[in-house]
Structure 1
Amino acid sequence: MTTLARTLPSDVKGAARWWQRCEAPTLVLAVGVYAAWAALVYWHAAMGTAVLFVLGGCIAQLHSSLQHEAIHAMRRIPRLLRWALVWPPLNLWLPYPLYHRSHSVHHVNFHLTHPQKDSESVYHSAAAWADYGPVRRAVIAANQTLVFRLIAGPWLCLGNMARSELRRCQSGDFSHLGIWLMHAVSVAPILWFVVSVSDMSLGLYVLCFVYPGMMLGALRSFTEHRWDDSPHERVAIVESNPVFGLLFLNNNLHHVHHRCPTMPWYEIPGHFRRNRAAMLDANGHFYYRGYWQIVRRYLWRPIFEPVHPQW
């Protein structure tokens, strides 16, 4: 913002500062997301399932991106209001406090890609791999391909979370019970609007909102991280088009986000353009020219071995 302010006329500089202070782009976007979600759900019968699948998935992913934004940025909005802004569980399955906690751990640079310490790692330790049966190994290996990650990955994610929460309870740890109770209370009005007000079946909502939203999330995260001795070279940059940039709130420029996690989503592209060479040099040119390049390379081919090279 400092460099930008030096190059703009005084009236534009004042406008930029005002937008920044009020987090106006994010607030306007949030209002638009909830309005679009309500409209799609309420008038779902007026559109075909294929159209609803695409638009519903985009809205669900955009809301997930807003939740991610609230974890890191929006610092000029009080924490309670940030949480309230993104709290509604449109995806039904993930309580925001659990997402906030696990994702914050993910941002510890030393932990990136660690099989146990990084909650978003898809690597496995050699010791764990040796204990897996042939079926589990085959599923994990298949999950390194994009086609499997998109289609089956969301269900694997749900299964992994369910097993983790069940093991927590079996061990006598009920620290998440209050979070899940609050989540159930929060899901109730969502389901009331979907089923009772809009006369939309729960199955159709899961099929056309929750599932495609998770698929888009799986696409974004598919190539975000790889193992490297340098933490900065573990984080990718995908220079995609404005549509995916908006859906992911520019988190596809992931290395920029890890270097400047509190930077608002609408400032990330400009920062990357101004510092492109330095950013690519810092992350070892871990770079893709858009998601189509990723599809061509890894739709059927594994992106990396599932056993972590170090662990």
Structure 2
Amino acid sequence: MTLRTRPIELPTVLLAVVIYGGWLALTAAHARLPWPILALLGGWFVAWHGSLQHETIHGHPTQWRRVNDLIGGVPLSLWLPYGAYRRTHMAHHRSPHPTHPAHDPESRYVTGGGVIAAVARLRATLIGQLLVGPVAAIAMFLLDEARRLRRDPAGFAREWGPHLVGVALILGWLHLVALPIGSYLLCFVLPGQAGSLLRGFAEHRADAAGPSRATTVASRGPLALLFLNNNLHAAHHAVPAAPWYRLPAVERARTQRPEPRYDGYRDVLRRFAIRAHDTIHHPAGRGDAHG
């Protein structure tokens, strides 16, 4: 399958225009909207932007990395530096043992007990993930970054320096349109993170078949657009360079589909609303992935 026929992929460029234009229009018009509508739309655009960032990290929509980084690097979420996202996500794809917490930085499995394990148990159900997950994920990431500052100050500065410049520009715009930072966090950032966590909830299982341990959620509705078809996660791992609008074709072309499959997000909700999707501890334990 030919993955790139032109140096610029117009569907993703147009998508970026819609996302940034919609975010600008929504923040400017926030005072005219009731907060439930603002939270629904704000969460949509921030989660959609996260999906766009995933595309730019994988080399879209142009053949020039710096251009892609400029398109995806605007920190609408405020808390996640683009460089940190790139670093951890590409390590996830390179991991020799996906899902194992010692080898995969995007693993959701935990190795200890206490508060971290208690929070992980809450997040093992879909309702818990949506209610507790956004704050927990952000807090855990910032705690890890604080530790990284002591361990790798130069690397921390390379990622957080450009990020803080972008955050300053975002805050300047929010001040210009009189959108309080508290309202932005509650109506844009946290709902947006909840949307991203919905996508990631059933993406991987340690016991899933296949080298990537990825699953497939066969959604064809609005959530497939929100996630830019990354719900077809096994297909994405099979061909990571495929742009979002070609992932359905990649999925159709796969001759073997051994991974767990869910019939859309209603199926995920029905199965795991209040029941754990998986154990919180990796079956290989704390040591080697094959231990």
Q: Given the two structures, how large is their TM-score scaled by the length of structure 1?
A: 0.86
Q: Which residue does the alignment assign to 1:11?
A: none
Q: Which residue does the alignment assign to 2:29?
A: 43
SS in 2 for 1:106: helix
Look up the equivalent residue of 1:35 and give its one-letter code: G
CA contact (8 A) 1:109 1:231 kept: no
2:271 to 280, 297, 303: 297
Point out the structure with the larger helix share.
1
1: CA distance, partners of 2:152 / 2:83: 20
Q: Which residue does the alignment assign to 2:289?
A: none
Q: Which residue does the alignment assign to 1:235?
A: 214
1: CA distance, partners of 2:119 / 2:208: 27
Q: Tell me how far 1:147 sits from its aligned partner.
A: 1.0
> Is 1:148 paired with 2:128?
yes
2: CA distance, partners of 1:58 / 1:229: 29
Q: Tell me how far 1:87 sits from its aligned partner.
A: 1.1
> Is 1:82 paired with 2:68?
yes
Q: Which residue does the alignment assign to 1:34?
A: 20
> Is 1:255 paired with 2:234?
yes
CA contact (8 A) 2:210 2:259 kept: no
Q: Given the two structures, how large is their TM-score scaled by the length of structure 2?
A: 0.92
1: CA distance, partners of 2:162 / 2:155: 13
Q: Tell me how far 1:143 sits from its aligned partner.
A: 1.6
Q: Which residue does the alignment assign to 2:100?
A: 114
2: CA distance, partners of 1:167 / 1:22: 39
CA contact (8 A) 2:46 2:77 kept: yes
2: CA distance, partners of 1:124 / 1:136: 8
Look up the equivalent residue of 1:261 and give its one-letter code: P
Q: Residues 229 and 217 (structure 1 numbering): CA distance in 2 closer, same or farther, change over 3 Å?
A: closer
Q: Where do residues 165-176 of structure 1 align in structure 2 (5 Å cutoff)?
A: 165-171=145-151, 173-176=153-156
Look up the equivalent residue of 2:117 and give its one-letter code: R
> Is 1:105 paired with 2:80?
no
CA contact (8 A) 1:240 1:290 kept: yes
2: CA distance, partners of 1:48 / 1:61: 20
Q: Which residue does the alignment assign to 2:196?
A: 217
Q: Residues 75 and 207 (structure 1 numbering): CA distance in 2 closer, same or farther, change over 3 Å?
A: closer
Q: Which residue does the alignment assign to 2:160?
A: 180
Q: Tell me how far 1:75 sits from its aligned partner.
A: 6.4
Q: Which residue does the alignment assign to 1:10?
A: none
Look up the equivalent residue of 1:118 and give its one-letter code: D
The higher radius of gyration belongs to 1
CA contact (8 A) 1:288 1:294 kept: yes
Q: How many residues align?
A: 285
CA contact (8 A) 1:245 1:251 kept: yes
> Is 1:66 paired with 2:46?
no
Return 5+ residue gaps in structure 1 as ranges.
Answer: 3-15
Look up the equivalent residue of 1:165 and give its one-letter code: E
SS in 2 for 1:297: helix
2: CA distance, partners of 1:230 / 1:242: 26
1:307 to 266, 281, 285: 281
Q: Which residue does the alignment assign to 2:8?
A: 22
- Cα deviation digits, residues 170-215 of structure 1 (max 9, x gap): 44644202321221111111111112x2111111111111111100
Superposition misfits of 4+ residues, deviation over 6 angstroms: none
1: CA distance, partners of 2:58 / 2:282: 28
SS in 1 for 2:96: helix
CA contact (8 A) 1:105 1:119 kept: yes
- How large is the Cα RMSD of the aligned pairs? 2.0
Return 5+ residue gaps in structure 2 as ranges.
Answer: 286-291
User: Which deviates more, 150-159 or 286-295?
Assistant: 150-159
Q: Tell me how far 1:301 sits from its aligned partner.
A: 0.8
Q: Which residue does the alignment assign to 2:182?
A: 203
